[in-house]
Amino acid sequence: MEVGFLGLGIMGKAMAANLLRHGFRVTVWNRTLSKCDELVAMGAAVGDTPASVVAKCKYTIAMLSDPSAALSVVFDKDGVLEQIGEGKGYVDMSTVDAATSCKISEAVKQKGGAFVEAPVSGSKKPAEDGQLVILAAGDKALYDDMVPAFDVLGKKSFFLGEMGNGAKMKLVVNMIMGSMMNAFSEGLCLADKSGLSPQTLLDVLDLGAIANPMFKMKGPSMLQGSYNPAFPLKHQQKDMRLALSLGDENAVSMPVAAASNEAFKKARSLGLGDLDFSVVHEVLKGTGGSG
Ligand SMILES: NC(=O)C1=CN([C@@H]2O[C@H](COP(=O)(O)OP(=O)(O)OC[C@H]3O[C@@H](n4cnc5c(N)ncnc54)[C@H](OP(=O)(O)O)[C@@H]3O)[C@@H](O)[C@H]2O)C=CC1
Ligand SMILES: O=CC(=O)O
């Protein structure tokens, strides 16, 4: 199967590499073109623009930072829309809001193409290991065509029905994850300041009913003050913002998420947005990342 792949950030690079390893023919494009080099060394072809990738490939996947990037790659000059049409499919796996997905879907459909939104749950390591959880919605025939690729990228894919449901599901999941990260971080601080060993807290948590892979994976590096980005904080804050907006639309009160968003915003204001989202721990510790 031949696919185009737009966006080779932390996630896109790992996902495109996985497709190549599994025998897919992949044509890549990234705004910063030099990021294509590693994939080319693995056998990928390169397109000069999103439009040229879509012109070449029947199916094109995108993995971009946020709604503005997702819209730009479709609607701007040399964008997806210039070449999408009958018999072609576009699959956006970025985390965006439902309105962004719907806008892209309408435009692609007007050109005769098919569109699926398919945001993912799971970070850098699951992307490398093909263990993502795929939250797809939109054109069911295109979804069915993409199953071989989804099977390589993920451990499970859900088809959630009408356009926007994938985006909403992803935002709900990440709203919970961001709130959990704040509660976890506060707990580590409270243990430390009240004379307990935070490491022992990690051991206790891991044996109980609230044990989870995120605490297990992030806890030790948070205690070391190490925040190499797997999931950049700026993206987690974007997801909290979009989830809170979904809450506004549906009159759902979310005080815990709102407080967590404030902590993520504070971290961004301190210049920590490119580090892993667990760096919010430094804000809650009151050090602002300075030690
Ligand atoms: N990292 C993670 O753990 C996870 C991330 N996600 C979501 O996946 C998406 C990608 O995340 P991630 O790979 O971590 O992000 P990165 O910040 O590592 O990569 C972002 C990508 O978007 C591109 N981009 C940004 N702005 C534009 C623009 N205006 N036009 C064209 N391209 C643009 C970047 O290009 P350039 O290289 O030129 O900057 C890069 O390829 C996000 O929506 C994120 O929320 C979902 C699950 C997990
Ligand atoms: O969006 C981030 C993730 O870990 O999932």
Q: Ligand 1: which atom is nearest the Cα of residue 95?
A: 43
Give me the CATH number covering residue 246.
Answer: 1.10.1040.10
Q: How many residues does this entry show for the chain?
A: 291
Residue 152 located in a structural domain: yes
Say how many Å lie between the CA of residue 94 and the centre of ligand 2: 11
Residue 76 located in a structural domain: yes
pLDDT mean across residues, the chain: 97
Q: How many Å apart are CA 65 and CA 229, to the nearest integer?
A: 14
Q: What confidence tier does 287 reach under pLDDT thresholds 50, 70, 90?
A: low
Q: Which residue, by CA, sits nearest to atom 16 of ligand 1?
A: 9
Say how many Å lie between the CA of residue 53 and the centre of ligand 1: 18
**Same domain for 183 and 117?**
no
Q: Which residue, by CA, sits nearest to atom 29 of ligand 1?
A: 69
**Same domain for 170 and 157?**
no
Number of domains comprising the chain? 2
**pLDDT at res. 290:** 42
Regarding the beta carbon of 231 and ligand 2, being less than 6 Å apart is answered yes
pLDDT (average), residues 193-200: 97
Q: What confidence tier does 113 reach under pLDDT thresholds 50, 70, 90?
A: very high
Regarding the beta carbon of 241 and ligand 1, being less than 6 Å apart is answered no
Residues 155-165: pLDDT tens digits?
999 999 999 99
The total of other beta-carbon atoms located within 10 Å of residue 35's CB is 16
Q: Record the pTM.
A: 0.97
**Same domain for 83 and 29?**
yes
Residues 25-77: pLDDT tens digits?
999 999 999 999 999 999 999 999 999 999 999 999 999 999 999 999 999 99
Domain ends where: 161, 183, 203? Answer: 161
Regarding the beta carbon of 12 and ligand 1, being less than 6 Å apart is answered yes
Residue 291 located in a structural domain: no
Q: How many Å apart are CA 166 and CA 98, to the nearest integer?
A: 8
> For 145-157, b where at least 16 C-beta lie within 10 A, e where not — what string?
bbeebbebbbeeb
**Same domain for 6 and 69?**
yes
Residue 62 located in a structural domain: yes
Q: Which of 123, 124, 156 to mutate to test the pocket of ligand 2 (most atoms within 8 A of CB)?
A: 123
SS3 (DSSP) at 151: helix
**Same domain for 95 and 230?**
no
Token couple for 217: 């994976």
Regarding the beta carbon of 79 and ligand 2, being less than 6 Å apart is answered no
Give me the CATH number covering residue 3.
Answer: 3.40.50.720
Token couple for 150: 């989804």
Q: Are strands 154-159 and 120-121 parallel, antiparallel or unpaired?
A: unpaired
In this model, does residue 93 exceed pLDDT 90?
A: yes
**Same domain for 26 and 155?**
yes
Say how many Å lie between the CA of residue 95 and the centre of ligand 2: 9
**Same domain for 13 and 107?**
yes
Domain ends where: 161, 189, 211? Answer: 161
Say how many Å lie between the CA of residue 6 and the centre of ligand 1: 10
**Same domain for 209 and 86?**
no
Regarding the beta carbon of 11 and ligand 1, being less than 6 Å apart is answered yes
Say how many Å lie between the CA of residue 119 and the centre of ligand 2: 9
Contact indicator for 219, 184 with CB cutoff of 8 Å: yes
**Same domain for 148 and 178?**
no
Domain ends where: 161, 195, 226? Answer: 161
Say how many Å lie between the CA of residue 116 and the centre of ligand 1: 18
Ordered DSSP codes for 79-115: -GGGT--TT-EEEE-S---HHHHHHHHHHHHHTT-EE
**Same domain for 131 and 156?**
yes
> For 77-111, b where at least 16 C-beta lie within 10 A, e where not — what string?
eebbbbbbeeebbbbbbbbbbbebbbbbbebbeeb
Q: Residues with catalytic annotation? A: 170
In this model, does residue 291 exceed pLDDT 50?
A: no
Q: How many Å apart are CA 216 and CA 251, to the nearest integer?
A: 34
**Same domain for 182 and 123?**
no
Residues 270-286: pLDDT tens digits?
999 999 999 999 999 98
Q: Which of 30, 65, 214 to mutate to test the pocket of ligand 1 (most atoms within 8 A of CB)?
A: 65
**Same domain for 8 and 132?**
yes
For the CA atoms of the chain, what is the radius of gyration?
20
Contact indicator for 264, 236 with CB cutoff of 8 Å: yes
pLDDT (average), residues 188-202: 97
Q: Which residue, by CA, sits nearest to atom 1 of ligand 2?
A: 121
Question: Which ligand is closest in space to the CA of residue 174?
Answer: 2
SS3 (DSSP) at 210: coil
Domain range spanning residue 200?
166-285
Q: Are strands 114-117 and 132-138 parallel, antiparallel or unpaired?
A: antiparallel
Q: Ligand 2: which atom is nearest the Cα of residue 174?
A: 1
Q: Where are the alpha helices (DSSP H) in the chain?
A: 10-21, 37-41, 50-56, 67-75, 98-110, 124-129, 140-153, 165-193, 198-207, 213-223, 233-249, 255-269, 280-285
